[in-house]
Chains A and B, each alone.
Chain A
Amino acid sequence: MKSDSVRGHLDGMLLAVLEAGPLHGYAIIAAVQRRSGGTVELRTGTIYPALNRLERIGLLSSSWESVGERRRRCYQLTDAGQGALAGERRAWQEFTTAIGSVLNPSPAT
């Protein structure tokens, strides 16, 4: 899956992998790749400014935490982030239903 196709859904994917609990940058990348079965092609460095933006608009909060021997910035969903994730899921469901019904019409239509 090319990065251009993914870009519009990056926010939703980042929010989704943080739903289970706080993660640092590389763990977020690894979670996206694991969940997509390695099919999402993304310049992984671009998630850092995206995480900064989601924090600025209040969907994530972050703090420095010790992970292993190093200190890393860990991100977690805020209440507003939970709401935004629900909205992303709803919009995605409506989108795939609409496009799916055009691409694969049922015999009756």
Chain B
Amino acid sequence: MTAAARTPVAADPLDAYVAELAAELHGPARAKARLLAEIRDGLADTVAAHSEGGAPRRPALDAALREFGTPGELAPSCQRELTVAQVRHTAGTVALTAPLLLAGWLLSWHAGGADGWLPRAAQLLAGCLTVVAVLAALPAVATLAATGPLARRLPTPDRLPALAAWTGTVTALAMGAAGLALAVTAPLATAWPLLALAAAVTVASHALVAGSARTCRRCARPPAAVDA
């Protein structure tokens, strides 16, 4: 089913306009909702300006839409900004969860109590994967800087969304595998509550990063149609 087919038909022309634009955009829900709310307000103001002096609503609406631009004309510039917002969301999620993961793993390691070679081996494997996630936090922090105030002086690289998407994906995979390793071996360890806690933190981090990275990959995809 296409995005347009999923969009409910809105009775109000302004709602229909916003719904058509919304169907073409991907990005963080809050940023998208805020942008669409501003656009709807702006379009309503434009219609009101064209209705001044008692002009009929339909011609005023048509004139406002010509001036404002169609959803197809607005979508590329809106998507560019939402893509950057998504890149920052994914980078922020990686940068925040990776240290949390490291703290959880260090806690379980130093608490000891993992008897036998299998729990120790799994903890070691989880540690290696945690290092991968922590290393991924470094480009994530650089991405946050490059798309924030630094963007006044440095152009944002075209490939940054793809880089952020794949950094997030690799981090999510590392977190998922680390969480699985800890979860499988937790019952074998004497200090199993700590390992179970570390596994839960790791799996929760995996879910957060994987969801954000999936949306980021969608945003980073080139548009299917080239705007005329």
Interface residues of A (CB under 8 A from B): 24-26, 29-30, 43-53, 56-59, 70, 72-73, 80, 84
Q: Does B2 contact A (CB under 8 A)?
A: no
Q: Does B211 contact A (CB under 8 A)?
A: no
Residues of B within 8 Å of A49, CB to CB, are 35, 74, 77-78, 80-81
Please, which residue of chain A has its CB at the minimum distance from the CB of B88?
A: A56
CB of B39 within 8 A of CB of A44, answer no
Beyond A29-B46, A56-B81, 11 additional pairs, beta carbon < 8 A: A25-B41, A26-B45, A43-B69, A43-B73, A46-B69, A46-B77, A51-B38, A52-B85, A53-B84, A56-B84, A84-B152
CB of B151 within 8 A of CB of A45, answer no
Q: Does B116 contact A (CB under 8 A)?
A: no
Q: Does B49 contact A (CB under 8 A)?
A: yes
For B, the interface residue count at a CB cutoff of 8 angstroms equals 28
From A45, A53, A80, A84, give the contact of B39 (CB < 8 A): A45
Instruction: List residues 159-188 of chain B with CB under 8 A from any CB of chain A.
Output: none
Instruction: List residues 179-207 of chain B with CB under 8 A from any CB of chain A.
Output: none
Min CB distance, A27 to chain B, in Å? 8
CB of B151 within 8 A of CB of A43, answer no
Residues of B within 8 Å of A57, CB to CB, are 148-149, 151-152
From B43, B49, B73, B152, give the contact of A59 (CB < 8 A): B152
CB of A48 within 8 A of CB of B45, answer no
Residues of B within 8 Å of A51, CB to CB, are 38
Residues of B within 8 Å of A80, CB to CB, are 149, 152
Instruction: List residues 57-115 of chain B with CB under 8 A from any CB of chain A.
Output: 67-69, 73-74, 77-78, 80-81, 84-85, 88
Q: Does B51 contact A (CB under 8 A)?
A: no
Residues of A within 8 Å of B149, CB to CB, are 57-58, 80
**Cα–Cα, bound, A57→B149 (Å):** 4
Residues of A within 8 Å of B74, CB to CB, are 43, 45-46, 49
Min CB distance, B207 to chain A, in Å? 27
Q: Does B215 contact A (CB under 8 A)?
A: no
Q: Can you list 17 A-B contacts (CB < 8 A)?
A: A25-B38, A25-B41, A25-B45, A26-B45, A30-B49, A44-B69, A45-B39, A46-B69, A49-B81, A52-B31, A52-B34, A56-B81, A56-B147, A57-B148, A73-B38, A73-B41, A84-B152
CB of A45 within 8 A of CB of B152, answer no
**Cα–Cα, bound, A51→B45 (Å):** 17
From A48, A56, A70, give the contact of B78 (CB < 8 A): A48
CB of B42 within 8 A of CB of A48, answer yes
Min CB distance, A78 to chain B, in Å? 10
Min CB distance, B157 to chain A, in Å? 15
From B42, B67, B84, give the contact of A25 (CB < 8 A): B42
**Cα–Cα, bound, A77→B90 (Å):** 28
From B31, B41, B88, B152, give the contact of A26 (CB < 8 A): B41
**Cα–Cα, bound, A47→B35 (Å):** 11
Residues of B within 8 Å of A50, CB to CB, are 77
Instruction: List residues 1-54 of chain B with CB under 8 A from any CB of chain A.
Output: 31, 34-35, 38-39, 41-43, 45-46, 49
